[in-house]
């Protein structure tokens, strides 16, 4: 999310909005946005917020399927701007031989047959928002939450309830510890996805954080020692920062190693494959917590 916000800022920050297309915006707000300048592009947990000089705000939450793309005006106006590839959910069978268990893991793959391969953004029905500056066009696809308002979204409950943001330089460790103590009955795998504890941790990072912490994902938070609590907060920030700086990669790439997804993470989506550290097959658990968890049964005993 932070990387997406950076790209939007690079294209639009400090620039005037010369046109806007969005079916969900009220006409009076649209008039105020057009001609205004983008003052800031920031993230709060999984929310992206744009603030315009006309004191209008845009809050976007992409859920699991929204995307932003940036195009030059020349590319967009000429009809050469290509939309993001369409994807479908493919089920891949992975065998965990050591446990004699068959698991299905979901993986998004490009679907080259959908809607006759639309090649022009202007023809793509997934488009929800288009912001025009003199030099760039910023397009939002499939965004389930696009809210324009004159009220600061930071005051809305959907954001004000969020815990400290792990990627913010002013991360409030004291507040994070307080919220941890209020959630001691939660399993760690569920705790990390609770945005009111710490904002910004997604399901991928959950599994990676707990693997690097070397703790059983379904352990109750109350069973963490004081030193483990400190390490948990530290690992959360370290792993999210690594993902931000390395385009989502959480495991350092080794010399001569492939850049494919199977090498990018420690355990995430590696069910049945060997742990990088101990060679034990990674487990995918879909039943012990609210969302699927990947973990090593040896390293995380």
Q: What is the mean pLDDT of residues 83-109?
A: 49
pLDDT tens-digit readout, 174-195:
999 999 999 999 999 999 999 9
Q: Kind and range of the H or E element at 50?
A: strand 47-52
| Residue-by-residue DSSP string for 165-223 | BTTSTT--HHHHHHHHHTTTTSBHHHHTT-TTTSBT--HHHHHHHHHHHT--TTSBGGG
Lowest mean pLDDT among 24-28, 75-79, 115-119, 230-234: 115-119
- Please state, in angstroms and rounded to a whole number, the distance separating the CA atoms of residues 212 and 204: 13
Q: For 80, how many CA atoms within 13 A lie in the half-sphere containing its CB?
A: 5
How many other CB atoms sit within 10 Å of the CB of residue 125? 10
Centroid of chain to Cα 6 = 13
Q: pTM score, two decimals?
A: 0.80
> Are the C-beta atoms of 49 and 57 separated by less than 8 Å?
yes
pLDDT tens-digit readout, 207-228:
999 999 999 999 999 999 999 9
Right CATH for 2-83+126-155 from 3.40.190.10, 3.90.1200.10, 3.20.190.10, 3.40.50.300: 3.20.190.10
pLDDT tens-digit readout, 230-288:
999 999 999 999 999 999 999 998 888 877 888 999 999 999 999 999 999 999 999 99
Q: Domain limits of the chain? A: 2-83+126-155, 164-295
* The domain over range 164-295 is classified in CATH as 1.10.8.50: yes
How many other CB atoms sit within 10 Å of the CB of residue 185? 9
């Amino acid at each position: 999310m932070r990387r997406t916000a950076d790209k939007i800022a690079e294209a639009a920050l400090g620039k005037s909005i010369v046109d806007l297309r969005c079916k969900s915006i009220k006409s009076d707000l649209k008039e105020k946005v057009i001609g205004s300048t983008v003052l800031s592009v920031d993230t709060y947990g999984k929310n992206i917020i744009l603030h315009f000089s006309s004191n209008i705000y845009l809050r976007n939450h992409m859920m699991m399927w929204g995307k932003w793309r940036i195009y030059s005006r020349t590319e967009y106006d000429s009809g050469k701007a290509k939309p993001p590839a369409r994807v479908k959910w493919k089920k891949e069978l992975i065998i965990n031989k050591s446990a004699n268990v068959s698991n299905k893991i979901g993986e998004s793959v490009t679907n080259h047959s959908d809607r006759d391969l639309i090649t022009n953004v202007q023809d793509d029905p997934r488009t929800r928002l288009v912001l025009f500056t003199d030099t760039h066009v910023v397009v939002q696809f499939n965004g389930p939450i696009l809210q324009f308002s004159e009220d600061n979204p930071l005051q809305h409950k959907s954001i004000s309830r969020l815990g400290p943001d792990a990627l913010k330089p002013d991360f409030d460790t004291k507040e994070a510890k307080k919220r941890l103590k209020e959630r001691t009955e939660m399993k760690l795998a569920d705790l990390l996805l609770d945005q009111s504890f710490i904002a910004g941790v997604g399901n991928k990072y959950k599994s990676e954080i707990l693997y690097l912490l070397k703790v059983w994902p379904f352990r109750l938070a109350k069973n963490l020692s004081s030193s483990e609590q400190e390490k948990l907060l530290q690992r959360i920030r370290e792993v999210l920062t690594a993902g931000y700086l390395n385009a989502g990669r959480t495991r350092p790439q080794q010399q001569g190693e492939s850049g494919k997804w199977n090498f990018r993470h420690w355990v995430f989506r590696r069910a049945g494959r060997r742990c990088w550290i101990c060679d034990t097959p990674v487990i995918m658990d879909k039943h012990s917590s609210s969302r699927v968890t990947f973990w090593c049964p040896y390293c995380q005993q």
